[in-house]
Structure 1
Amino acid sequence: MTLWQRPRLRINSFKSFLSLFLVGTFLSVALAACGGGNQNNTNTDNSTATKKQDVEITLVSFAVTKIAHEAIIPKFVEKWKQEHGQNVNFKQSYGGSGSQTRAVIDGLQADVVHLALALDTDKIAKAGLIQPGWEKEFPNNSIVSKSVAALVTREGNPKGIKTWADLANDGVKLITADPKTSGIARWNFLALWNSVIKTGGDEAKATDFVTKVYRNVSILTKDAREATDVFFKQGQGDALINYENEIVLAQDKGLKVNYIIPDVNISIDNPIAIVDKNVDKHRNREVVEAFVKYLFTPEAQQEFAKVGFCGVDETIAKSQEFVDKYPPVKTLGTVQDLGGWDALQKKFFDDGALFDQIQAKKR
């Protein structure tokens, strides 16, 4: 019996081994196939995560914001790269706010517009490029930078210019930008008009005053930056009206500047908006929204404040450094006080309105 049992055991053992071998081989192939599929998926996911396509943002802004944006943009690019593993490339365009507005409406592929006044942003919205209600999308009614009007004179102030009223004096030559192309120029006009209204004058007196002042304008430049260059570099004019921030920047560049911030002034509010139609086409909304939100952070607001813009972030605006730099204005008017941009545009800046009438009388 023993002699017959051993071969049988061997045969059974061999069959068991063969069965186990085949099962094991099958499972190994199956597991390898499954494992290989998972490995390929993992590599694809990792490749997507680590090799995201670069994204591009086109920023269109008014001239005097350039130095602030050039300090802010690299910080945002670094932050986004660290948090999202993606490179952000910026295209930037700077010029007069009115000219920039027309360029965007005519096809300049802006993703973000930072303009001198809400009226210009509204024009782009009316052209169907920005969704209605844009001003409610971000803090502070989407006002991201502010300034006031400054009155600059020559060293020693030989013409004795101390107030807005002095700009109407005979023999004064004034430099300012053209309201037809420049946002700051419209603010300058409103600062002059507001100086009469806020001190008890009526519209007839205000009209007479701005007419006299613009008769003294020797050069109308296309934007605020050109006005600064004409006054300082070319030495033309007895006085210059410009943004306070533009004057602060001139000082930071080493220019000796004699200027006054008049006690009666206008709040120059500069809005920012996403150009929805372009962003939807470019499929970059996530990063564009993140950039605009970043502009309201203390880090970005500090860069605006460094170059002369009044902070819209209270932690920056109330810091001792910037309170000393930008003392409060006693009587500060707003666009809303004067009737709002739609009414002001029709009254002052439309073709044939008051500004054109004043220019026609000069010819």
Structure 2
Amino acid sequence: MSNSLHLIRLGANGIERMQTYFVKALQAVQLSWQGISRNSLHGRVQRFVCLFLVGSVLSVAIAACSGSSLANKADVKLRLVSFSVTKAAHDQIIPKFVQKWKKEHNQNVTFEQSYGGSGAQAAAVIAGSQEADIVHLALPLDVNKIQQAGLIKSNWEIKAPRNGIVSRSVAAIVTREGNPKGIKTWADLAKDGVQVIAANPKTSGIAIWEFLAFWGSVTQTGGDEATALDYVTKVYKNIPVLTKDAREASDLFFQQKQGDVLVNYENEVILAEQTGPKLPYIVPQVNISIDNPVTVVDKNVDKHGTREVAQAFVDFLYSTEAQREFAKLRYRSVNPTVSQEVKSQYPPIETLFTSQDLGGWEIIQKKFFADGATFDKIQAAKKA
């Protein structure tokens, strides 16, 4: 690195320290210069030595000041935007990363965190009201929307481990004590007199997964799309109000005692049990793999100068240490080692389908959730 670049990095305090070294060096040269004959060979040698001394002292000064600057790195703040139910996991994982980074890089990292419905969070990032360095959202569709807005580079999932999926779950159906409505399968949610608590696909990631679970429970077991549409329409007629996110749905069901049935993430159901009454739940044998992506927001990390730390945090989320924290909260781990460790803790799934089995996210968005698409038609039929 050139001396001029070093000077740029030093700042005012560093330059003052270098000036002190420089003055002392000049004083030493002046003392040496005195009494030396300009015409003698001995004098010329002495002057060369003195000039060499000046250069050496200045190099040491620059190196010393630069080294001092690097030894005291400024704190860095990361902005994490995530969907509502991940807070409990991040509360455990973030301190571990902060400690690890401090030990390895001698730099303090702080986190500004925001949690809410995945769709609403993605919209806030796109609008700029949330300048996220990292997004951990409920479904790839929301990350794709941010990418299409120009904030994330294309093919983000191809460049990431596990195609960008860092946490995973399945859908669960919670009933009231004793299961008075006799709910056993997805089909039972369409029965008359069953009140279902679920979230809104326009704002919530779990709501989109719920919808796809309903639809796929028909199409992935031999039913045609007309049958699927009829079934899903009946289910949504049984939903009195659509909540904004998974956490609000849980509060409505567990705390406010509304509804006969709650559809939610398997891991969220288990977490709710730890803070409230334990209620029976079913993990349907035909289920959808709920895949939650994470990525850096390229435009924002470059703006904030946080790319290195942000990417390190994303990578840390895939580590065995972090994945064990996800597993403690009953996420289905994407880390093979951890997945094998906790396999016995989860009920097996007979038919586990994915978003790709339903056509992939581009088709899913256009077919089901675009303005005027299937979901809007179902809502219109519900009001009719």
Instruction: Choose from 47, 64, 71 the match for 2:68.
Output: 47
Structure 1 residue aligned with 2:6: none
Residue 278 of structure 2 corresponds to residue 245 of structure 1: no
Q: C-alpha separation between the residues in 1 aligned to 2:145 and 2:214?
A: 24
Kept in 2: contact 1:60–1:112 (CA 8 A): yes
Structure 2 residue aligned with 1:85: 106
Structure 1 residue aligned with 2:316: 294
Which structure 1 residue ranges, 5 or more long, are not aligned?
1-18
Residue 354 of structure 2 corresponds to residue 354 of structure 1: no
Instruction: Report SS of the residue matched to 1:226.
Output: helix
Q: C-alpha separation between the residues in 2 aligned to 1:34 and 1:132?
A: 50
Letter in 2 for 1:148: V
Kept in 1: contact 2:172–2:283 (CA 8 A): yes
Identity %: 59
Q: C-alpha separation between the residues in 2 aligned to 1:43 and 1:252?
A: 55
What is the RMSD computed on CA atoms of the aligned residues?
2.0
Which structure 2 residue ranges, 5 or more long, are not aligned?
1-39
Letter in 1 for 2:110: N
Letter in 2 for 1:51: N
Letter in 1 for 2:345: K
Larger Rg: 1
Kept in 2: contact 1:49–1:85 (CA 8 A): no
Letter in 1 for 2:321: E
Structure 2 residue aligned with 1:340: 360
In the TM superposition, structure 1's runs of 4+ consecutive aligned residues that sit over 3 Å from their partners are: 21-36
Instruction: Choose from 84, 103, 109 the match for 1:63.
Output: 84
Q: C-alpha separation between the residues in 2 aligned to 1:128 and 1:31?
A: 54
Instruction: Choose from 260, 266, 271 the match for 2:293.
Output: 271
Q: 1:181: how far off?
A: 0.5
Residue 167 of structure 2 corresponds to residue 145 of structure 1: yes
Q: C-alpha separation between the residues in 1 aligned to 2:162 and 2:53?
A: 59
Q: 1:268: how far off?
A: 0.4
Number of aligned pairs? 344
Letter in 1 for 2:67: N
Q: Residues 169-217 of structure 1: CA distance to partner in whole angstroms, max 9, x if unpaired?
A: 1111000000110011000011011111122111111000000010000
Instruction: Report SS of the residue matched to 1:273.
Output: strand
Letter in 1 for 2:137: L
Structure 2 residue aligned with 1:125: 147
Structure 2 residue aligned with 1:111: 133
Instruction: Choose from 172, 183, 197 the match for 1:161.
Output: 183
Q: 1:42: how far off?
A: 3.5
Letter in 2 for 1:339: G
Q: C-alpha separation between the residues in 1 aligned to 2:52 and 2:270?
A: 70
Q: Which moved more, 1:263-272 or 1:325-334?
A: 325-334
Q: C-alpha separation between the residues in 1 aligned to 2:45 and 2:150?
A: 67
Q: Residues 291-334 of structure 1: CA distance to partner in whole angstroms, max 9, x if unpaired?
A: 11111110111111111210000100111xx2222232110011
TM-score computed with the length of structure 2 as normaliser: 0.85
Q: C-alpha separation between the residues in 2 aligned to 1:49 and 1:257?
A: 55
Kept in 1: contact 2:254–2:276 (CA 8 A): no
Counterpart mapping for 1:8-19 below 5 A: none
Q: 1:277: how far off?
A: 0.9
Q: C-alpha separation between the residues in 2 aligned to 1:323 and 1:268?
A: 17
Residue 262 of structure 2 corresponds to residue 218 of structure 1: no
Residue 230 of structure 2 corresponds to residue 208 of structure 1: yes
Residue 58 of structure 2 corresponds to residue 37 of structure 1: yes
Structure 2 residue aligned with 1:308: 330
Q: 1:238: how far off?
A: 0.2
Letter in 1 for 2:206: I
